[in-house]
Amino acid sequence: MSSEVFKHFEDYVSFLESKDPTTVINTLRLVGERERKKKYITYSKNVFIPLCNWCRNFCGYCIFRRENYKLMKEKEVKEMLLKGNRYGCKEALFTFGERVDENPKIREELKKMGYESILEYLYHLEEWCLNNTNLLPHTNCGLLEYEELKMLKEVNASMGIMLENSSERLMNTIAHRNSPGKDPKKRLEMIENAGKLKIPFTTGILVGIGENSEEIVRSLMDIRELSEKYGHIQEVIIQNFRSKRGIPMEDFKEPSPFKILKVILVAKMILPPEVSIQVPPNLNRETGQLFLLAGVDDWGGVSPITEDYVNPEAPWPEIETLREYTEEVGYRLRERLPVYDRYISREWLSDRILNKIYNIKKD
pLDDT digits (tens, 9 = 90+) for 69-125: 999 999 999 999 999 999 999 999 999 999 999 999 999 999 999 999 999 999 999
**pLDDT number for residue 3:** 41
**Average pLDDT over every residue of 173-179:** 96
Burial grade of 140 (CB within 10 A; 0-12, 13-18, 19 or more): middle
> For 275-331, what is each residue's pLDDT tens digit?
999 999 998 888 999 999 999 999 999 999 888 778 878 788 889 999 999 999 999
Q: Give the number of other Cβ atoms within 10 Å of residue 154's Cβ.
A: 15
Is the pLDDT at 1 greater than 50? The verdict is no
Q: Give the number of other Cβ atoms within 10 Å of residue 243's Cβ.
A: 14
Cβ–Cβ under 8 Å, residues 94 and 106: no
> For 45-75, what is each residue's pLDDT tens digit?
999 999 999 999 999 999 999 999 999 999 9
- The yes/no answer on whether domain 2-362 falls in CATH 3.20.20.70 is yes
Is the pLDDT at 350 greater than 70? The verdict is yes
Is the pLDDT at 36 greater than 80? The verdict is no
Cβ–Cβ under 8 Å, residues 340 and 235: yes
- For the chain, what percent of residues have pLDDT higher than 90? 87
> For 211-233, what is each residue's pLDDT tens digit?
999 999 999 999 999 999 999 99
- For the chain, what percent of residues have pLDDT higher than 70? 98
Task: Indicate the pTM of the whole model.
Answer: 0.95
b vs e for 308-325, b when ≥16 Cβ sit within 10 Å of the residue's Cβ? bebbeebebbebeebbeb
Is the pLDDT at 4 greater than 60? The verdict is no
- The answer for 114, left when phi > 0, alpha when psi is -120 to 50, beta otherwise, is left
Is the pLDDT at 5 greater than 70? The verdict is no
Determine whether the annotation assigns residue 129 to a binding site: no
